[in-house]
Copies of this chain bind each other. A is one copy, B any other.
Amino acid sequence: MPFVTFLPQNIRVEAASGASLLDAAHEAGAILDAECGGEGVCGKCRVRIVSGPIPPGSADFLPQNLLDAGCILACKAALGDEDLIVETTAASRGQGQFAEDAVDEAAVPDRALSRPLAQRFHLAVPPAAPEDGLADADRFAVALGKALPECVGRAPDIPLPVLRTLAQTLRREDGRVSATLALRGENARIIDISPGHDARSLLGAAVDIGTTSVTVSLLDLQSGARLASQSDFNAQISRGLDVISRINYAARPERLEELRRLVLDTINRLVREAAASKGFAPEDIVAAVLAGNTVMSHLVLGLPPEHIRLEPYTPTVREFPTFIAEALGLCMHPRAEIFLSPCVGSYVGGDIVSGLLTTNLAGDASDPEAMELFLDIGTNGELAVGGADFLMTCACSAGPAFEGGGVSCGMPAGAGAVERISIDPQTGALALSVIGGGAPKGLCGSGMISLIAELFRAGLLDPAGKFDRSGASPRIRVDGRRAVFTLAEAAESATDAPLVVNETDVENLIRAKAAIYCACDLLLTHIGLTFDDVATFSIAGGFGRFLNLEDAVTIGLLPDVDRAKFRFLGNACLTGARLALLSEDRRAKQIELARSMTYAELMTSPEYMDGYTAALFLPHTDGTRFPSVKKG
């Protein structure tokens, strides 16, 4: 049995002879993307052999120069009997590409801080006296009752580990103690009691658990200030790119447990990094809000998700109990209070409920009659439309194109990603805007939208998504029946390989934008409205730090309405989680929103297929819908 070592992670694993290197990588927990499911097509699992015999099987899938350099596709490499050392590429291991400044979060208003998920109180507990007959816990309860008169009835139970040190804690500083509590209406749960009047920061974490990426934001629960944010791919992506493939993978109990561990590992690493970046320990975090879609919420809890995709599409739970961190395996204070954003149903989850907190639909509208459409563009497109009286929601499957998935040189919106392209109308010269500067590594969602819009305006891409094969651009190369656009030559890119976009990539993006546009159109039609009736379009998503509205309208992703009606919310799910962390009212609002939303199952209707097909053009088969869009 050979040993395989993965660099740069330096993970060593014993593997079976004959097993594929991709399986060995999964076994080792060294993330290797395998979007195509091991078919040798996507090329994302490319690795380089550093030491040991080069396994055969990649000759048909990689160009000779890469093969000469020792590169192979892990999915096609059968292991022999000898040990291997392999180096994973940044693309194959899918990490390290997120820069903190790429985490797009809206500012949280000052008034947001009101009964955060955990609070600390400084108490003065009277000393033990022979005549009163009170136990330590009784005297603590008296002091707590004075600080918290609104918590009627008897004092909250003291957890056993806290009880075990209570006698010492009360006597260390003459009865002066700090009590950290999770408040739930008139009830309170004791998280910890420590000696003295603790002046250290009290930390909370807001966690956006996306299908593709996870973001952790660290907050000071006493000031509301954001202290740090960390983001990375959800380690589950090595087991499937979308929620359906995760559900399928989780069919066996040990694989469900594996998915739970993978996402926990990602969250816990980000939590540790965020805390360490400001000199804190993870144990300083005493509260967290987790927001994710229904499948992510189920997987992080270890709940089998299979019935989410089986008729009649039933999740195990929609409104989650509150948990303590220890019960979930989160790396925080063991008794940190954990609130999960509630789900509406199988396909509308806590992510959109959380994101709605950032919109007028959360009850802060100056004109409650004004219609608002909230659109969260991710691997799933989820949308909600409503006003004072109703809130209607639906979801559609857009695929991972907007997050850099399913595109030859796609990558998430992080350092090295091309986020914007402009083509000089005179010279045809390209100007690339790269996150963090430097040579480009790949193309993120907003870059892909920008590229397609620019090519369309320049006349280099036709409404059906085919490149101009007339030779008008030297960057367009025709290879048999395929045409390819070269964004950067190998010498210009940071990956030593050319960055190219082919017509299949364009088609994937057109399918994605068609699904989103059509879902919005159909949901409005379903309730008797048109795009013109909507006063505000609130757009959220992980495609980049910003979305160029003209580009999005040009390709037909967003409707051709007054641009002043658009608001871009960035990562609204994360912002909503931060709001919920800081305010009991916002947590109650999430639950209220989830209960008030009506889910419309539109994807199975014939109208959806018609509308989707009509939208598979740039910008649309019906040009009257996009009067402002002109082909270059």
Task: Provide the A108-131 mask, 1 if CB < 8 A to any CB of B, else 0.
Answer: 000000000000000000001110
- Beta-carbon contact of B313 and A164 below 8 Å: no
Q: How far is the CA of A322 from the CA of B163 in the complex (A)?
A: 13
- Beta-carbon contact of A158 and B317 below 8 Å: yes
Closest A-B pairs by Cβ, 4 of them: A130-B312, A157-B321, A128-B314, A137-B317
Give residues of chain A (24-43) contacting chain B, Cβ–Cβ below 8 Å: none
What residues of B have a CB within 8 angstroms of the CB of A130 in the complex? 311-313
Q: A138-B317, A166-B316, A167-B316 are in contact. List 16 more A-B contacts (CB 8 A).
A: A128-B312, A128-B314, A130-B312, A133-B599, A135-B316, A136-B307, A136-B314, A137-B316, A137-B319, A158-B317, A160-B321, A164-B304, A166-B303, A167-B306, A167-B314, A168-B304
- Beta-carbon contact of B323 and A160 below 8 Å: yes
A145 within 8 A of B: no
Q: Can you report 19 residue pairs joining A to B where beta carbons are below 8 Å apart? A: A128-B314, A135-B316, A135-B343, A136-B307, A136-B314, A136-B315, A136-B317, A137-B316, A137-B318, A157-B321, A157-B322, A158-B321, A160-B301, A160-B302, A163-B303, A166-B317, A167-B304, A167-B307, A167-B314
Instruction: Please give me the residue from chain B that is nearest to A156 by CB atom.
Output: B321
**Given contacts A167-B306, A307-B128, A312-B128, are A327 and B160 in contact (CB under 8 A)?**
yes
- Beta-carbon contact of A316 and B163 below 8 Å: yes
A345 within 8 A of B: yes
Q: Smallest distance from the beta carbon of A600 to chain B beta carbons, Å?
A: 11
List A residues at the B interface (Cβ < 8 Å). 128-130, 133-138, 157-158, 160, 163-164, 166-168, 301-304, 306-307, 311-319, 321-323, 327-328, 343-345, 599
Q: Smallest distance from the beta carbon of A588 to chain B beta carbons, Å?
A: 13
Judged by DSSP, the binding face of A is loop
Instruction: Please give me the residue from chain B that is nearest to A260 by CB atom.
Output: B164
- Beta-carbon contact of A303 and B167 below 8 Å: yes
Oligomer: number of copies: 2
Q: Smallest distance from the beta carbon of A23 to chain B beta carbons, Å?
A: 27
- Beta-carbon contact of A135 and B167 below 8 Å: no
Q: How far is the CA of A129 from the CA of B313 in the complex (A)?
A: 9
What residues of B have a CB within 8 angstroms of the CB of A163 in the complex? 301, 303, 316-317, 321
Q: How far is the CA of A546 from the CA of B131 in the complex (A)?
A: 38
Instruction: Please give me the residue from chain B that is nearest to A307 by CB atom.
Output: B167
What residues of B have a CB within 8 angstroms of the CB of A160 in the complex? 301-302, 321, 323, 327-328
Q: How far is the CA of A316 from the CA of B169 in the complex (A)?
A: 11
Instruction: Please give me the residue from chain B that is nearest to A313 by CB atom.
Output: B130
Instruction: Please give me the residue from chain B that is nearest to A128 by CB atom.
Output: B314
Q: Smallest distance from the beta carbon of A78 to chain B beta carbons, Å?
A: 37
What residues of B have a CB within 8 angstroms of the CB of A307 in the complex? 128, 136, 167
What residues of B have a CB within 8 angstroms of the CB of A327 in the complex? 160
Instruction: Please give me the residue from chain B that is nearest to A253 by CB atom.
Output: B164
- Beta-carbon contact of A345 and B314 below 8 Å: no
Q: Which of B138, B168, B301 contacts A318 (CB 8 A)?
A: B138
Q: How far is the CA of A322 from the CA of B159 in the complex (A)?
A: 10
Q: How far is the CA of A327 from the CA of B302 in the complex (A)?
A: 21
- Beta-carbon contact of B317 and A135 below 8 Å: yes
Q: Which of B133, B316, B343 contacts A136 (CB 8 A)?
A: B316
Instruction: Please give me the residue from chain B that is nearest to A342 by CB atom.
Output: B135
What residues of B have a CB within 8 angstroms of the CB of A317 in the complex? 135-138, 158, 163, 166
Q: How far is the CA of A311 from the CA of B131 in the complex (A)?
A: 11
Q: How far is the CA of A128 from the CA of B311 in the complex (A)?
A: 9
Q: How far is the CA of A343 from the CA of B128 in the complex (A)?
A: 17
Q: How far is the CA of A166 from the CA of B166 in the complex (A)?
A: 37
